[in-house]
């Protein structure tokens, strides 16, 4: 990019930061002031009993306002602010349940940090957010003064202060214009940092404390442990069912056939030969089913050649074309590879069964300490993990994939608008060896 292009981009970013800062100032000042006032009033009303009904509503609005600021911080300045809230227990009915729900919110330290943030946001936060817009406004205000507007103002007020410049005549008006242009140049370089400073200030109160972060981590590990135990139990039941209905039944039938052959081998050799052929076919089918079962537990190609080749082999068995691109300079731990393999297998199966896609693209790479996998199809869309993997496409399993990845601190993201395309992105923290 040329130097002119870089300068133009900086100017655009500075103006964008000013606009966003102005929005944060106006909207944030109004919302934070109202919510701070409503919170105080609602707490006072608890003495009359009314507050037990109004406080949860107000605090929910406070959390929504804080969550919006978290999203804006990440989208506008790349400042990630994790939410510190714990899952609320199921609410009981009646007044006692309402009181319990209200007290649960009030006992949460994150609630009081949110209230503190409201006060900071309507004071220091508003000032920081307004600075980028102020630097840009000074440019235009200085030019307006220099064009002669200073004259009627000075006739009334004797002097018009422009920042630190007292405007009394045309010379000082021109000096104000020059100062405004200097502020504008300064804004080109600092506006984005000022906006980021606003979000960093908010982060001090909106992010989890170290104590809360550890507590949330323990809760997450507890949930993923339960999910892992449930998944293991379900996998064992599946293996038992497959053995009972498949290979075991065939082996029993083959044993009965061999017993019959033993009785017929001297009396009716021809019939014995036919039964031997049937037993041989049963043994071949039982062996094939056992191989499929073993492949479902841990594919041999995955153990022998790694995730890349295993996924390429999996793609070849799909009923629709799958383009595979793998860039892995090493191998992850076996449990990570296994989780990634079966997660991709489930996504590809859903795409083949439910998406009506004509082609699928699979991309696997390792970057920034994480295994990143994206599966994209050109189907009809409509998949979503929040619905348990059931969207318009009717597929299932995305929620199960989310739980499987959660055991490794992995995440699943799904973009699947109606009409497609669908992109499923998986990320698992790991180190290649």
**pLDDT digit string (tens) for 99-118?**
888 888 888 888 899 999 99
Q: What is the pLDDT of residue 141?
A: 81
Instruction: Please check the confidence at residue 243 and state whether its pLDDT lies above 90.
Output: no
Instruction: Please check the confidence at residue 185 and state whether its pLDDT lies above 80.
Output: yes
Most confident of 86-90, 121-125, 382-386: 121-125
Asked whether the CA dihedral 87, 92, 94, 96 is positive or negative, the reply is: negative
Average pLDDT score over the chain: 80
Instruction: pLDDT band for 212, please (50, 70, 90 cuts).
Output: low
For residue range 12-28, list pLDDT tens digits in order. Answer: 888 888 899 999 999 88
Instruction: Please check the confidence at residue 394 and state whether its pLDDT lies above 60.
Output: no
Q: What is the pLDDT of residue 386?
A: 46
Instruction: pLDDT band for 179, please (50, 70, 90 cuts).
Output: confident
Instruction: Please check the confidence at residue 53 and state whether its pLDDT lies above 60.
Output: yes
């Amino acid at each position: 990019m040329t130097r002119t292009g870089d300068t133009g981009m900086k100017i655009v970013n500075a103006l964008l930061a000013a606009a966003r800062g102005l929005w944060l100032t106006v909207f944030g000042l109004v919302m934070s002031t109202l919510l701070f006032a409503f919170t105080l009033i609602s707490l006072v009303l608890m003495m009359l009993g009314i507050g037990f009904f109004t406080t949860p509503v107000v605090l929910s609005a406070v959390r929504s306002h804080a969550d919006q600021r978290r999203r804006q911080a990440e989208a506008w300045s790349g400042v990630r602010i994790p939410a510190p809230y714990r899952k609320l227990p199921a609410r009981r009915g009646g007044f006692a349940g309402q009181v319990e729900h209200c007290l649960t919110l009030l006992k949460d330290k994150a609630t009081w940090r949110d209230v503190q943030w409201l006060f900071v946001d309507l004071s220091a936060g508003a000032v920081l957010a307004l600075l980028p817009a102020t630097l840009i406004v000074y440019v235009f205000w200085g030019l307006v003064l220099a064009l002669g507007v200073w004259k009627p103002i000075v006739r009334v007020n004797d002097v018009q202060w422009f920042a630190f410049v007292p405007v009394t005549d045309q010379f000082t008006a021109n000096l104000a214009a020059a100062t405004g242009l200097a502020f504008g140049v300064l804004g080109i370089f600092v506006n984005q940092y000022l906006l980021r400073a606003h979000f960093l200030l908010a982060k001090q109160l909106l992010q989890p404390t170290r104590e809360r972060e550890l507590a949330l981590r323990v809760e997450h590990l507890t949930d993923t442990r339960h999910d892992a135990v449930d998944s293991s139990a379900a996998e064992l039941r599946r293996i038992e069912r497959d053995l009972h209905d498949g290979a075991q039944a065939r082996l029993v039938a083959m044993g009965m056939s061999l017993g019959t052959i033993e009785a017929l081998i001297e009396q009716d050799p021809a019939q014995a030969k036919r039964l031997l052929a049937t037993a041989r076919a049963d043994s071949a089918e039982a062996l094939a089913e056992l191989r499929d079962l073993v492949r479902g537990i841990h594919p041999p190609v995955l153990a022998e050649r790694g995730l890349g080749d295993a996924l390429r082999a999996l793609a070849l068995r799909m009923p629709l074309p799958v383009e595979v691109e793998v860039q892995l300079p090493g191998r992850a731990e076996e449990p990570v590879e296994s989780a990634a393999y079966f997660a991709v297998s489930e996504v590809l199966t859903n795409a083949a069964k439910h998406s009506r896609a004509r082609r699928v693209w699979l991309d696997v790479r390792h970057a920034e300490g994480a295994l990143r996998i994206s599966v994209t199809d050109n189907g009809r869309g409509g998949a979503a993990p929040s619905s348990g993997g059931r969207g318009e496409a009717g597929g299932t399993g995305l929620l199960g994939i989310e739980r499987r990845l959660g055991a490794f601190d992995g995440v699943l993201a799904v973009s699947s608008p109606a009409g497609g395309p669908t992109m499923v992105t998986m990320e698992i923290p790991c180190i290649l060896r």
